[in-house]
Amino acid sequence: MNAAIESFTPASTADAAPAALAARFPAGFVWGTATSAFQIEGAAAVDGRGDSIWDVFCRQPGAILDGGTGDVACDHYHRLEDDLDLLVSLGLRAYRFSIAWPRVQPTGEGAWNEAGMAFYDRLITGLLARGIAPHVTLYHWDLPQALQEAGGWASRRTVDLFVAYAREIGRRFGARVASIATHNEPWVVAVLGHEAGIFAPGLRSRRTAYQVAHHLLLSHGLALRALRADGVGCPLGIVLNQSPSDPATQAPADVARTWLEDGLLVRWYMDPLFKGSYPADVVAHLGADAPEVQPGDLAAIHAPLDFLGLNYYTRNVVDANGVVEAAKCGTEHTAMGWEIRPEGLRDLLLRLHRDYRLPALYIMENGAAFDDEVVNGEVPDERRVRYLETHLAAAADALQAGVPLRGYFVWSLLDNFEWAQGYTKRFGIVHVDYATQRRLPKRSAHWYAALLAAHREAAASARLR
């Protein structure tokens, strides 16, 4: 650990009492948990669902750490009502989930699969009946495999098909949901899926990755335009994964590389969305791998956002060679090997608001994997409680400094399929025993429920404005 890293200001210490922490958030603040379709639903071949690129990727030997698949996952598809009751038991009033495109349109074009649509109708109806606001994500990585075979996100045709899918969801559900986000984490789809090849569809081409990133952003912008033209009235936005990048030292080479890494992760997405242009330094860096951009594309991407969703897990430390292995940074790490860095969340929010003037902001994911164990019928995940508490304190700091933060969603409600790590990483505030599908709220779930109850109580007694 070098001096530059050590000298960062420490995060404010969270108050252990939920009431004191809750009091730092205004009345009307949205508290939720998040999941995604492929990670929890299972029922992969049920009711006409088509294969997604993740179903196919999981079948590749060695692609998933424990050989896991999405075939059963948390069997949420068959346990919907119980899982919705679970949300109620934790006092949750907001829930973020995604719609699996291949469940509602098996090949990504042509007829809608009514059985698949009926599932999401039951989900939304069930949430509303329980007083829980549905926050929908249209694309959390599960592209219909048939579209991949026709070129996937590297093809402009996929952009048009996504817009058609978005419009159909808007037409059916737009009046009943609290928000619609187009994409979850386009950086992950583009870079991990098409450049690093460690996520579906497992390609390794930087050229393809940046064309994909551009098409994801374009499909977002065109979908927003179409949804608005169709009269969909709920707030519309996108969810980005972001991290601050800190130089390992103040050496000019480290600092210069840090700006580039920030460009690849943050500015490549934020600049076109908020300024209508790609960052020139990153375009120059990509050279021949920079995407083909057609006239009008950037104007479409620049469509005003009703909200921005951010997912925050850790920060990046960068030296002259690139992002430093997380295990070598900081002192505390999660089971993913990610540095625990709550002040990174505050730094990130302040910086983004300074540079981009943020619209309504939601932290759409924040949480941690630990090697949880069931002990005498309980899961004493004190480290997760501490993680959530310190990150919420950092979020409250940002709020106090003027960042328009409106809500926070814990990743995740349930332990689930953690992509290339399969079922080896547990992110849930509710433990899942995969052999029996039994759900067991961890201590963190009880803590979160207490926090929400304290916030409601404070809001009701009008101590919060």
Query: Which active-site residues does the annotation give?
Result: 185, 365
Nearest distance from C-beta of residue 265 to ligand FCB, angstroms: 12
Report the run of H or E that residue 445 belongs to, with start and end.
helix 443-460
Residue from 185, 343, 372, 397 touching ligand FCB (CB under 6 A): that is 185
Task: Quote the tokens at residue 198.
Answer: 């460690």
Q: Interface with ligand FCB includes 184 (CB under 6 A)? A: yes
Residue 427 in contact with ligand FCB, rule: CB under 6 A: yes
- Is the distance from CB of 224 to CB of 182 less than 8 angstroms? yes
Between residues 179 and 184, which has the closer beta carbon with respect to ligand FCB?
184
Sign of CA dihedral 209, 211, 214, 216: negative
The position carrying tokens 């779930």 is 445
Span from 10-18, 46-54, 181-189, 223-231 in contact with ligand FCB (CB under 6 A): 181-189
Verify binding: residue 419, ligand FCB, rule CB under 6 A: yes
Q: What is d(CA 256, CA 258) in angstroms, rounded to the nearest whole number?
A: 5
Output the smallest distance, CB 37 to ligand FCB, in A.
10
182 scored as a contact of ligand FCB (CB under 6 A): no
Describe the crossing of helices 268-275 and 206-229 by its angle, rounded to 10 degrees.
30
Structure tokens at 71: 């075939």
**In 326-462, which ranges are E strands?**
360-365, 405-411, 430-433, 438-441
Which residue in 210, 370, 411, 423 binds ligand FCB (CB under 6 A)? 411
- Of 52 and 311, CB closest to ligand FCB: 311
Q: Residue-wise over 304-324: b if at least 16 C-beta within 10 A, else e?
A: ebebbbbbbbbbbbbbeeebb
Of 137, 148, 179, 241, which one interacts with ligand FCB (CB under 6 A)?
241
Q: Among residues 43 and 188, whose Cβ is nearest to ligand FCB? A: 188
- Quick one: tokens of 335? 């089971």
Total length of the chain: 465
Q: Which of 50, 199, 418, 451 binds ligand FCB (CB under 6 A)?
A: 418
Judged by CB, which is closer to ligand FCB: 36, or 69? 36
Using rule CB under 6 A, residue 188 touches ligand FCB: yes
Closest CB to ligand FCB among 188 and 324?
Answer: 188
- The least CB distance from residue 365 to ligand FCB, in Å, is 6
Is 153 an interacting residue with respect to ligand FCB (CB under 6 A)? no
**Residues 36-65 close enough to bind ligand FCB by CB under 6 A:** 36, 39
- For residue 181, give the nearest of 34, 44, 314 by alpha carbon: 34
Q: Which amino acid is at 342?
A: P
How many CA atoms are closer than 13 Å to the CA of 229, on its beta-carbon side?
12
User: Which of these ranges, 88-96, 115-123, 183-191, 193-201, lies near ligand FCB under the rule CB under 6 A?
Assistant: 183-191
The tokens 């349109």 sit on which residue? 105
Q: Which of residues 282-341 bind ligand FCB (CB under 6 A)?
A: 311
Q: Which is nearer to ligand FCB, 142 or 347 (CB)?
A: 142
Q: Could you give phi then psi for residue 164, rounded to 5 degrees?
A: -65, -40
Taking a C-beta distance cutoff of 8 angstroms, is the pair 116, 48 a contact?
A: yes
| Position 262 contacts ligand FCB (CB under 6 A) | no
- The count of chain residues that interact with ligand FCB, using the rule CB under 6 A, is 12
Please tell me the distance from the alpha carbon of residue 272 to that of residue 292, in angstroms, as a whole number.
14
**Cβ atoms of 245 and 188 closer than 8 Å:** no
Q: Which region among 87-95, 184-192, 393-401, 440-448 touches ligand FCB (by CB under 6 A)?
A: 184-192
CB of 387 to ligand FCB, least distance (A): 13
Site residues (CB under 6 A) for ligand FCB?
36, 39, 184-185, 188, 241, 311, 365, 411, 418-419, 427
